[in-house]
């Protein structure tokens, strides 16, 4: 049952990722944050449109979800009980934000070894180590949900790209 639920929400993330096109050069990452079977935040990568290097899909979705759940008892917009769905394994910044926002679970489709290195930090730090070593015991992850559908959004690991065509270099 969880697999079907995860696939449902990952399809939503895929729709968000491709809502403005699917050119792998534009890093079409999609993210939805779900709590109680309801999307409370969603976004695609908006670094170029917002002129903000931190406007990754997950970061924008965190901000929107935090606003959606904030109230007098939760002024910080903590996302306890929520699940983050992302078409690509979150980078270091987004993984740390997952820890700080207190989501309970991260689900992603394509992993760092499924795609070209341009989509990740050049030092090849595995962000899953952040989760394993986090001081929170209640954050879990599931990888590979609709992996093949997600992988198709990005350049493959062996793609030959000029340095000018690659981010993060």
Measured between alpha carbons, how far is 100 from 111 in angstroms, rounded to an integer? 22
Decide if 46 is catalytic. no
How far CA 125 is from CA of 92, 134, 135, 149, 153, in Å, comes to: 8, 15, 18, 24, 22
Q: Which of 7, 12, 46, 58 is catalytic?
A: 58
CA gap 36, 53 in Å, rounded: 31
Residue 145 CA to residue 84 CA, distance in Å, equals: 12
The Cα angle at residue 75 between residues 72 and 81, in degrees rounded to 5: 100
HEC profile of 117-151? HHHCCCCCCCHHHHHHHCCCCCCEEEECCCHHHHH
Active site residues: 58
């Amino acid at each position: 049952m969880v697999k079907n639920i995860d696939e449902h929400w990952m399809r939503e993330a895929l729709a968000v990722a491709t809502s403005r096109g699917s050119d792998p050069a534009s890093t079409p990452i999609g993210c939805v944050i779900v709590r109680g079977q309801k999307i409370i935040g969603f976004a695609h990568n908006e670094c170029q449109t917002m002129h903000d290097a931190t406007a990754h899909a997950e970061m924008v979705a965190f901000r929107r979800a935090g606003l959606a759940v904030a109230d007098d008892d939760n002024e910080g917009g903590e996302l306890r009980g929520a699940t983050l769905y992302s078409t690509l394994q979150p980078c270091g910044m987004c993984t740390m934000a997952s820890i700080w926002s207190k989501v309970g679970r991260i689900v992603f489709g394509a992993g760092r070894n499924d795609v070209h290195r341009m989509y990740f930090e050049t030092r090849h730090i595995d962000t899953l180590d952040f989760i394993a070593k986090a001081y929170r015991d209640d954050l879990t992850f599931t990888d590979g949900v609709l992996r093949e559908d997600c992988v198709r959004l990005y350049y493959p690991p062996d793609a030959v790209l000029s340095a000018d065509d690659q981010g993060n270099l």
